[in-house]
Amino acid sequence: MRISQQVTRVDWIETAGELGALLNESRLIKELLPVHNRRERRIANFYSWEWGGALESRAPLKLVTAGDTEALRLENLYGTFRAKHAAITALTAIAEEHGLCPALLGLEPARKAGAACFSHQLKRCRGACCGREAVAAHNLRLAQALQSLRLAQWPYKGAIGLRERSGEKSEVHLFERWCFLGTASTESEIYEKLEVRGRPLFDLDIYKILKRELAKRTRGVALIEFGAMSSLWYRGAAAPLPG
């Protein structure tokens, strides 16, 4: 009621469907920073564990601000946490459940070489910190335990488009590796956006919107797979959107 009493003008953006509306809402919240949409106001507002991939590493994980992560690194990320303490809590629970070493995971201060961590003294760690377990074996168990937190893998060979139609209005929303590349109304716009996409950053809100859409495949939304075409130049006059 208080918000409605403060409204003096209503503006709107016409879209070809619900997906376009959700994408516009996410973009506008980050651009206009409305007071009542705090959770979605910034792209770089969550944390994730990044796996370096080396089984022999004594520091296999790094906590990163995942909103600053480029699309090509997404396959190495585990978990989407709004707060740093939530990421640490989740990893601590995994370490306790699987007998992993908190010292190697950065959850306890590092000890001298060969010294057992506090958790090993409590028989909660199998001893990778003090040589009782091979580091490679420890990290292999860690990799398996992290699978429940892993971000969904991009299921396509390249960029895709999701086409929405409403009457005469038609739009194609372009994505690659969960990153939003923009919305196009003509075929020439599609290829222009695919060619100038640069190195888009991962946005958690876009990831959730797209993941839900791909799971339910809303009636009236058509999927276009560009694959290798996304790397080709397109020169020509504006034309209708593809099929």
Q: How far is CA 58 from CA 2, 15, 107, in A?
A: 55, 51, 13
This prediction has a pTM of 0.77
78, β-bridge pairs:
49, 150
Confidence of residue 223 (pLDDT cuts 50, 70, 90): very high
Q: What span, in angstroms and rounded, lies between the C-alpha atoms of 150 and 140?
A: 15
Q: What span, in angstroms and rounded, lies between the C-alpha atoms of 181 and 31?
A: 16
The strands making up 77-81's β-sheet, listed across from edge to edge, are 61-65, 47-51, 77-81
Give Cβ neighbours of residue 145 (< 8 Å, ≥ 6 apart). Answer: 94, 97, 98, 100
Domain boundaries, the chain: 15-35+153-231, 47-149
pLDDT per position as a tens digit, 132-157: 999 999 999 999 999 989 988 899 98
pLDDT per position as a tens digit, 103-112: 999 998 877 7
Single-letter residue type at 121: Q
222, β-bridge pairs:
163
Confidence of residue 230 (pLDDT cuts 50, 70, 90): very low
Q: What span, in angstroms and rounded, lies between the C-alpha atoms of 179 and 60?
A: 26
In b/e form, how buried is each residue of 159-197, taking b as 16+ CB within 10 angstroms?
Answer: bbbbbbeeeeebbbbbbbbbbbbbbbeebebbbebbeeb
Say whether pLDDT at 222 is over 80.
yes
Please give the average per-residue pLDDT across 44-48, as a whole number. Answer: 77
Q: Phi first, then psi: give them for residue 98, nearest 5 degrees.
A: -110, 10
